[in-house]
Amino acid sequence: MSKILLEHGDGGLLTSRLVRDIFLKHLGRPQGPLEDSTIVDSRPRIAVTTDAFVVSPLWFRGGDIGKLAVSGTYNDLVVRGARPAYLTCSFIVEEGFETVQLEALVESLAAEARRARVSVVAGDTKVVQAGQADGLFIGASGIGFIEDARELGVTSVREGDAVVVTGDIGRHGATLMAARLGIKAAPGLASDCHSMTYLLDVACVPGVHCMRDITRGGVVTILCEIAESTGLSIQLDENGVLTAPETSGICRLLGLDPLYLPCEGRAVIFCEERSVPSVLETLRSSRESTGGEPLLDPRRAATVTGTQGIVSMVTMYSGTRRLSSLTGAQLPRMC
Amino acid sequence: MSKILLEHGDGGLLTSRLVRDIFLKHLGRPQGPLEDSTIVDSRPRIAVTTDAFVVSPLWFRGGDIGKLAVSGTYNDLVVRGARPAYLTCSFIVEEGFETVQLEALVESLAAEARRARVSVVAGDTKVVQAGQADGLFIGASGIGFIEDARELGVTSVREGDAVVVTGDIGRHGATLMAARLGIKAAPGLASDCHSMTYLLDVACVPGVHCMRDITRGGVVTILCEIAESTGLSIQLDENGVLTAPETSGICRLLGLDPLYLPCEGRAVIFCEERSVPSVLETLRSSRESTGGEPLLDPRRAATVTGTQGIVSMVTMYSGTRRLSSLTGAQLPRMC
């Protein structure tokens, strides 16, 4: 069957063939028979997250919706200091979708799960009529183990903390915008989409207080959220935030600000001043594959400066301006 | 803002307002600040499940997509003998969707979660352009605690086991088909959609081996799946399977077979013959609210008879015919 039919979603014979020939083939079979839920070993404390993935286009330089579903979920767990262990994935497929494309995306999802050492333990597939979805959407949830008494999170952020940004920003957003508008981007422009496995090591560096992955709204929106929820002020140093020339090129062309563009493989790390060298060293020496995108070039990019709950930026010409959350941008379906 | 805009999904100011004014309002705030993942207490063994909900229409007699997302996930956990504890929900909303409708559905989801005593611990919202989804889809995952050494599942099914069906079948499917086709159904016809909380008690009855909720493909498809995965034969007694007159009426009108229609609040229970009276008594005496639909009328409806791996039915006229999984039916978007 070269295309997905409505009957692939009705729970009968074609559904079980689809599950066997595509999902179990690539994601692996559970040891026992398939059941309504899967029983797995756990820990006394776990981190739980969920995301809907609706990225458009489904394939982009540096990744696809399958890889993104794994890495996006992985990153939400690892930034809390949790060791990602299990994923669940539900697929909403539009009738008429090419079976070979579905298989390629499931294969990519499975490959990223292996790379990140997480198991896909439950799944579901629904098929909707042509025109009632746009190709494929994926709902993913993740469970990670908290193996340490220490809990990373915004409540641990302190005045005087340094903020490290793990690499150049805006790649994911710029890559998608170039692809959608059919702009011939520089060969070096690819999404930073990957599972940030090395953050497991960063979480163990003494003095690390909080990590957040930079997604929708970009680095500034993340900092604004943290400033708002903690009441602390954060001062960003424009010279500390890297943007690759190929990202800047697309941004200039389209009038986008890389500070507000989503990433899918970058994080902000709040830590004590004295921990900055260890954090940078841990990031630079990461031996985990990052899927081919440029090596990390982490920088100390901001400081928690006071208690007014605002975010400002010292520009490269030493001016200071106040920053606010993303508002009114037309950047749908970035993840 | 009376309609959902693309900006509600971009991660900026409107997204955080939507989260605050609709999702947190009804689903409750976590104790600490919002993070990328939520840290919760767990157990050494857990059951995990996921489903995409794409039901059409979004509201139907007896339920809606919000209630269904909770009960469908709950039921997948409870049939394994797990105590459902946590849910995660991701929402894919079509641009232009009425905000008041979204809120009503989230309110219904929250009400069913309270009734079933599960906490929604993580969520996500994406907005896609008008025409790229059909109103609203929900991805839900669930985590349940395994508190018993005993594990319910198809591997525990034995030759000689009795099979109890917990109530009349086909309500959910018949209700949706009548609604879609604009058929004026009998006043008594409503979906059986509810969280089967009483199955927590049934799971503790000695001699209960396996439970499965009856969803896509109906009671026959579930029995065929179990026969195929265990290699055991199951003989269904047509007289033991109840269909309400209002369900039968719609089925006759539309040429549907209730044996293949989905339910959303019915289960098959495999148990030892001697356990049947206790199982029936536990189901009949359930004091948990079932959301207004008719009281349960459980029946012993089948027997595990041999080792040929086939499903057959003794008809009400004492004939025997072989049954197979649902194949080629056009019953999309039932859940």
pLDDT digits over B285-314, tens only?
886 655 555 568 999 999 999 999 999 999
Helix (H, G, I), strand (E, B) or coil at A169: coil
> Which residues in chain A are contacts of B328 at CB distance < 8 A?
7, 12, 14
- Does a structural domain hold residue A291? yes
Whether this model's ipTM surpasses 0.90 comes out as yes
Q: Residue B137: its pLDDT value, please? A: 98
* Residue A218, pLDDT above cutoff 90: yes
Query: Do B96 and B7 meet the contact criterion of CB atoms below 8 Å apart?
Result: no
Whether the Cβ atoms of residue B119 and residue B87 lie closer than 8 Å to each other: yes
What would the mean pLDDT of A221-230 be, rounded to a whole number?
Answer: 94
Contacting residues of B for A220, CB less than 8 Å apart: none
Mean model confidence pLDDT for chain B: 93
Does residue B103 share a domain with residue B84?
A: yes
For the purposes of burial, counting CB atoms within 10 Å of the CB of A231, is it exposed (0-12), middle (13-18) or buried (19 or more)? exposed
Q: Are A79 and B44 within 8 A, CB to CB?
A: no
The CATH number that applies at residue B294 is 3.90.650.10
Assess contact for B113 and B70: CB atoms under 8 A.
Answer: yes
Indicate the residue among A145, A180, A213 that finishes a domain: A145
Q: Which of A7, A79, A151 minimises the CB distance to B36?
A: A79
B179 & B304 share domain = yes
Q: Do the Cβ atoms of B210 and B226 come closer than 8 Å?
A: yes
Partner-chain residue, chosen from A33, A37, A327, that has the shortest CB–CB distance to B229: A33
CB neighbour list of residue B324: distance below 8 Å, 6 or more residues apart: A13, B220, B224, B311
Residues of B in contact with A7 (CB under 8 A): 327-330
Predicted confidence at residue A223, as pLDDT, reads 97
Q: Which of B12, B76, B143 sits opposite A329 (nearest CB)?
A: B12
Helix B245-254 to helix B171-180 angle, to the nearest 10 degrees? 50
Interface check for B249 against chain A (CB to CB < 8 A): the answer is no
Pair of tokens at residue A74: 């992985």
Q: Are residues A75 and A202 in the same domain?
A: no
Strand, coil or helix: what is A37? coil
Q: Rg of chain A's alpha carbons, rounded to an integer?
A: 21
Q: What is the pLDDT of residue B228?
A: 93
Name the token pair of B273.
């013959």
Q: Are residues A178 and A259 in the same domain?
A: yes
pLDDT (0 to 100) of residue B291: 54
- pLDDT for B290: 53
User: Which residue from B6, B33, B42 is facing A229, i.e. has the nearest CB?
Assistant: B33
In this structure, the answer to whether residues B209 and B313 fall within a common structural domain is yes
Give the integer Cα–Cα distance in Å for A334 and B4: 17
HEC secondary structure over chain B: CCECCHHHHCCCHHHHHHHHHHHHHHHCCCCCCCCCCEEEECCCEEEEEEEEECCCCCEECCEEHHHHHHHHHHHHHHCCCCEEEEEEEEEEEECCCEHHHHHHHHHHHHHHHHHHCCEEEEEEEEEECCCCECCEEEEEEEEEECCCCCCCCHHHCCCCCEEEECCCCCHHHHHHHHHHCCCCCCCCCCCCCCCCCCHHHHCCCCCEEEEEECCCCHHHHHHHHHHHHHCCEEEEEHHHCCCCHHHHHHHHHHCCCHHHCCCCCCEEEEECHHHHHHHHHHHHCCCCCCCCCCCCCCEEEEEEEECCCCEEEECCCCCEEEECCCCCCCCCCCC
- Regarding whether A244 and A137 lie in a shared domain, the answer is no
Question: Does B48 contact A88 at a Cβ distance shorter than 8 Å?
Answer: yes
**Residue A250 neighbours by CB under 8 Å, 6+ apart:** A174, A177, A178, A183, A185, A189, A256
In a domain, B238, yes or no: yes
- Nearest-Cα distance to chain B for A132, in Å, is 5
Q: According to the model, what pLDDT value does residue B329 have?
A: 67
Domain contains A94:
yes
> What single letter denotes the amino acid at residue B266?
R
Contact between B10 and A216 using a beta-carbon 8 Å cutoff: yes
Tell me: pLDDT of A55 over 90.
Answer: yes
Position A331 in a domain: no
Residues A299 and A185 in one domain: yes
Q: State whether A48 and B54 contact (CB < 8 Å).
A: no
Residue from B141, B150, B199, B261 whose CB has the most chain A CBs within 10 Å, to mutate = B141
Q: Does B33 touch chain A (CB under 8 A)?
A: yes
Asked, for residue A12, whether it belongs to a domain, the answer is: yes
Does the pLDDT of residue A51 top 70, yes or no?
Answer: yes
pLDDT at B14: 87
Q: Does A82 touch chain B (CB under 8 A)?
A: yes
Cβ of B77 within 8 Å of Cβ of A37? The answer is yes
What is the structure's pLDDT at A58? 98
Residue A154 contacts B, CB cutoff 8 Å:
yes
One domain, residues A264 and A120: no
pLDDT at B150: 77
Tens digit of pLDDT for each residue in A271-300? 999 999 999 999 998 866 555 555 689 999
Of B6-10, B58-62, B273-277, least confident by mean pLDDT is: B6-10
The per-residue pLDDT for A69 is: 98
**Mind listing the pLDDT tens digit for each residue in A171-185?**
999 999 999 999 988
- Tens of pLDDT, residues A10-46: 888 888 899 999 999 999 887 778 888 999 999 999 9
Strand order in the sheet with B38-41: A119-128, A83-94, A136-145, A45-53, B38-41
Rounded CA separation B160/B10 (Å): 57
| Average pLDDT of every residue of chain A | 93
Is the model's pLDDT at B326 over the cut of 90? no
Both tokens of residue B108?
């219904």
Residue A15 contacts B where some CB pair is shorter than 8 Å:
yes
- For B10, counting Cβ atoms within 10 Å of its Cβ (0-12 exposed, 13-18 middle, 19+ buried), the class is buried
pLDDT-derived band of residue A329, with 50, 70 and 90 as boundaries?
low
Interface contact flag, B90 A51, Cβ < 8 Å: yes
Instruction: Give pLDDT, residue B31.
Output: 74
pLDDT at A195: 97
Asked if the C-beta of B327 comes within 8 angstroms of chain A's C-beta atoms, the answer is yes
Query: Could you tell me the CA-to-CA distances from A174 to A168, A189, A196, A261 in Å, in that order?
Result: 12, 8, 20, 7
Average pLDDT over residues A61-85: 97
Percent of chain B at pLDDT exceeding 70: 96
Interface test with B, best of A18, A31, A36, A222 (most B CBs within 10 A): A36
**Among B145, B176, B193, which residue terminates a domain?**
B145
Where among A145, A175, A193 does a domain terminate? A145
pLDDT of residue A290: 53
Give me the domain span that covers residue A56: 6-145
Whether B166 and B140 map to the same domain: the answer is: no
Q: How confident is the model at residue B242 (pLDDT cuts 50, 70, 90)?
A: very high
Residue from B16, B79, B126 to probe the interface with A (highest A Cβ count within 10 Å) = B126
- Is residue A335 a part of any domain in this protein? no
Q: Do B82 and A39 touch (CB under 8 A)?
A: yes
CATH code where residue A24 lies: 3.30.1330.10
CA of B297 vs chain A CAs: smallest distance (Å): 23
Instruction: Say if residue A153's pLDDT is above 60.
Output: yes
Is A131 inside a domain boundary? yes
- Residue A272: its pLDDT value, please? 98
Task: Give the pLDDT band of residue B57 (cuts 50, 70, 90).
Answer: very high
Same domain assignment for residues A98 and A163: no
| Residues A335, A216 contacting (CB under 8 angstroms) | yes
Q: What is the rounded CA–CA span in Å between residue B84 and residue B76?
A: 9
Q: Would you call A89 and B50 a contact, using CB atoms and an 8 Å cutoff?
A: yes
pLDDT at A150 over 90: no
Residue A330 forms part of a structural domain: no
Q: Are B121 and B64 within one domain?
A: yes
Instruction: Give the lowest-confidence range in A236-250, B137-151, B230-244.
Output: B137-151
Interval B97-152: pLDDT, tens: 999 999 999 999 999 999 999 999 999 999 999 999 999 999 999 999 998 777 79
**Torsion B300-B301-B303-B309 (CA) sign:** negative
Domain shared by B125 and B105, yes or no:
yes
Note the pLDDT of residue A288.
60
How many separate domains does chain A show? Answer: 2
